[in-house]
């Protein structure tokens, strides 16, 4: 029941009465006014299955249609009576022509008012926007739009007789040159960027197919026609007909050193309505490389995932652990291609019975009912150098030299190239290194290098320090090395003859004491 407090009808009774009097140019009886007011409120009232018209401008246009329609009906009745009177010669031809002219003018006014109302507000519905994945793994959107022009005005509530040809013509309103695109904010992300529909017929739908240049779950549908642009933000539905979980990795190719680990990011998106739990597999990965699936939010290790109600995407990490040594299956610089598979264990019984490490051909994977992504791991060796010396402390006289052996050893997993050995010396010291350049050194091999230090003349007594530096390359990259410090202590020079004389003097004194003691004891 429609009450006076219904806010869907925003026109007050006083204002409505004044507008009606203004339109008709005369006072309207109270009963007629009330009936007219209730009729005018009908299009604005929310009835079951109908939406009230909200625009005040549209409300006055509907009122104008009603006004010219009632005038048309009145003049049509007068025209029908005048035609009968003319046939009975009760009125003149001139009077009849004037009445007919008024009737034709009223018909034109009515048609103009109706067209002004309906053609001013064309409407296009977005009925469906479904995101799906093509067999090639591309993300696409199936969009269905409908020309619903005139439906928003509730044609059945307007004073238009169903037998009126104009009523049927208005329900077949066509929109020409409709341009549709998909946006993210202000940027078009659809491929093609824009689709042109030559004619979108009234009350008919058109299905369009777009590729997504960016994987998103929410888009803006932009519809342009007749110098108008309608933009609607929609959340994409997921196509469950494929019944798979798509897998995407932005870091699909990575390098990792032997003995280290690599982590691949995985983005899973559900395109199924049947299963909530899915198994995770890895295929074509050598058994020497261990792996585990990790939830990045909780660090939990997973073998299965579950999509709860309302959740369509999940993020995972695949972590790989490389062995310390290369072999025939894991070779340095040789890419290893493998697959991550996500699917229902029940629909892939053969795969469920296999262990991770099973080898599958790409075509066989594509024929399986699973989501998959191909990843690539490139093992890299590590260049590490070790420099060892038996003794890094030496004592010499000022005129002596220091000679020592150092051992250069490759303790990494990659060949070392162009190992150079240099020295950093105290002032005026000289050195020699043999050999000073090692062209290559394979893992586990070593080379002995002889290093000599030559002090300058007139060297003072004290402590001196020299450095042995090594530089090497591995895979065209510098290798970190550690300098070796050699401490050299220069002692004071000794005089041979003075030492001999001093020694003889001491011996002579000792003999004299012994002889004196013997003689004293005999007395």
Q: How far apart are CA 127 and CA 129, in angstroms?
A: 7
404: exposed, middle or buried (Cβ count in 10 Å: 0-12, 13-18, 19+):
middle
Q: Secondary structure of the chain: what % helix, strand, coil (to 5)?
A: 25, 40, 35
CB 470 within 8 A of CB 441: no
**Helix, strand, or coil here: 400?**
coil
Round to whole Å and give the CA distance between 242 and 142. Answer: 14
Q: Is 339 in contact with 360 (CB distance < 8 Å)?
A: yes
SS3 75: helix
Rounded CA-CA distance 153/323 in Å is: 73
Rounded to a whole number, what is the distance in angstroms from the first to the last CA of the chain? 158
121 Cα distance to chain centroid: 38
Q: What angle do CA 326, 364, 355 make, to 5 degrees?
A: 50
Structure tokens at 276: 């909530």
Can you give the pLDDT at residue 83? 86
- The pLDDT profile of the chain, 523 residues, written as one tens digit per residue, is 333 333 334 344 444 445 445 444 444 444 444 444 444 444 444 333 333 444 566 667 777 878 888 888 888 898 888 888 888 888 888 888 999 899 889 888 888 877 776 665 678 889 999 888 777 778 889 999 998 875 545 555 555 565 565 555 554 467 888 999 999 989 999 999 999 999 888 788 999 999 999 888 899 999 998 788 889 999 888 776 556 788 888 888 998 888 889 999 998 887 766 656 888 888 888 888 999 999 998 999 998 888 877 777 889 999 999 988 888 888 888 999 999 988 877 655 555 555 455 677 877 777 777 888 889 999 988 888 999 998 999 998 888 889 999 999 998 888 899 999 999 999 999 999 999 999 999 888 999 999 999 999 888 888 999 999 999 998 888 888 888 999 999 887 665 566 677 778 888 888 888 887 787 776 6
Q: In sequence order, what are the residues at sequence separation of 6 or more whose Cβ sits closer than 8 angstroms to the Cβ of residue 28?
A: 17, 20, 21, 36
Structure tokens at 408: 């250069």
CB-side neighbour CA atoms (13 Å) of 306: 2
For the chain, how long is the longest CA-to-CA vector? Answer: 200
Q: What CA–CA distance (Å, rounded) separates 488 from 495?
A: 22
Distance CA 119, CA 150 (A): 8
Q: Report the alpha-carbon distance of residue 233 to residue 236 in Å, rounded.
A: 10
Token digits for 518? 């013997």
Give the span between the Cα atoms of 471 and 53, in whole angstroms: 82
Beta strands 124-133; 244-248: pairing state: unpaired
pLDDT at 194: 94
How far is residue 489's CA from residue 111's CA, in Å, rounded to a whole number? 116
Give the chain's length: 523
Residue 273 pLDDT: 61
Strand intervals (E) in 391-505: 393-396, 402-410, 416-424, 430-434, 437-441, 446-454, 462-474, 477-478, 484-490
Separation of alpha carbons 304 and 316, rounded Å: 11
Burial class (CB in 10 A: 0-12, 13-18, 19+), 260: middle
Examine residue 294 and say whether the peptide bond preceding it is cis (omega within 30 degrees of 0): no
Inter-residue contact 247 to 365 (CB < 8 Å): no
The token duo for 404 is 């020592």
* Backbone Cα Rg of the chain: 49
Give the separation between CA 160 and CA 114, rounded to whole angstroms: 9
Bridge partner list, 221 = 182, 232
Distance CA 39, CA 52 (A): 14
């Amino acid at each position: 029941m429609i009450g006076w407090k219904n806010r869907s009808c925003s026109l007050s009774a006083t204002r409505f009465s004044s507008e009606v009097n203004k339109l008709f140019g005369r006072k309207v009886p109270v009963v007629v006014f009330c009936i007219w007011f209730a009729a005018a409120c009908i299009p604005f009232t929310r009835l079951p299955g109908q939406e009230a018209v909200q625009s005040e401008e549209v409300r006055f246009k509907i009122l104008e249609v009603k006004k010219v329609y009632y005038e048309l009906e009145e003049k049509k009745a007068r025209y029908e009576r005048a035609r009968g009177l003319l046939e009975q010669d009760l009125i003149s031809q001139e009077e009849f022509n004037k009445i007919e002219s008024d009737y034709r003018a009223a018909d034109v006014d009515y048609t103009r008012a109706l067209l002004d109302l309906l053609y001013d507000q064309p409407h296009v519905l977005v009925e469906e926007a479904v995101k799906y994945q093509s067999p090639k793994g591309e993300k696409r959107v199936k969009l269905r739009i409908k020309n619903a022009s005139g439906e928003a005005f509730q044609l059945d509530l307007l004073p238009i007789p169903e037998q009126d040809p104009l009523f049927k013509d208005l329900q077949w309103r066509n929109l020409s040159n409709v341009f549709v695109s998909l946006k993210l904010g202000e940027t078009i992300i659809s491929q093609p960027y824009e689709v042109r529909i030559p004619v979108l017929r009234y009350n008919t739908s058109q299905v369009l197919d777009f590729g997504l240049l960016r994987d998103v779950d929410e888009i803006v549908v932009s519809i342009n026609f007749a110098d108008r642009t309608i933009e609607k933000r929609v959340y994409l539905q997921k196509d469950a007909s494929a019944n798979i979980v798509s897998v995407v990795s932005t870091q699909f190719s990575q390098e990792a050193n032997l003995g280290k680990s690599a982590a691949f990011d995985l983005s899973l998106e559900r395109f199924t309505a049947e299963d909530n739990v899915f198994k995770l597999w890895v295929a074509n990965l050598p058994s020497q490389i261990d792996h585990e699936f990790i939830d990045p939010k909780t660090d939990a290790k997973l073998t299965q995932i579950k999509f709860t109600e309302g959740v369509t995407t999940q993020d995972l990490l695949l972590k790989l652990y490389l062995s310390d040594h290369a072999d025939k299956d894991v070779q340095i610089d040789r890419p290893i291609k493998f697959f991550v598979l996500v699917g229902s264990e029940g629909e892939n019984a053969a795969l469920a019975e296999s262990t991770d490490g099973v080898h599958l051909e790409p075509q066989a994977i594509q024929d399986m009912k699973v989501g998959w992504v191909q990843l690539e791991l490139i093992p890299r060796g590590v260049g590490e150098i070790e420099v060892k010396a038996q003794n890094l402390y030496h004592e010499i006289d000022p005129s002596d030299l220091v000679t020592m052996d150092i051992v250069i050893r490759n303790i990494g997993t990659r060949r070392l190239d162009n190992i150079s050995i240099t020295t950093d010396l105290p002032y005026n010291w000289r050195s020699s290194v043999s050999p000073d350049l090692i062209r290559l050194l394979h893992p586990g091999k070593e080379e002995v290098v002889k290093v000599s230090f030559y002090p300058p003349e007139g060297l003072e007594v004290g402590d001196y320090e020299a450095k042995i530096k090594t530089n090497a390359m591995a895979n065209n990259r510098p290798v970190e090395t550690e300098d070796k410090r050699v401490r050299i202590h220069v002692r004071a020079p000794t005089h041979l003859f003075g030492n001999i004389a001093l020694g003889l003097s001491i011996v002579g004194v000792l003999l004299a004491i012994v002889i004196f003691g013997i003689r004293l004891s005999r007395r």
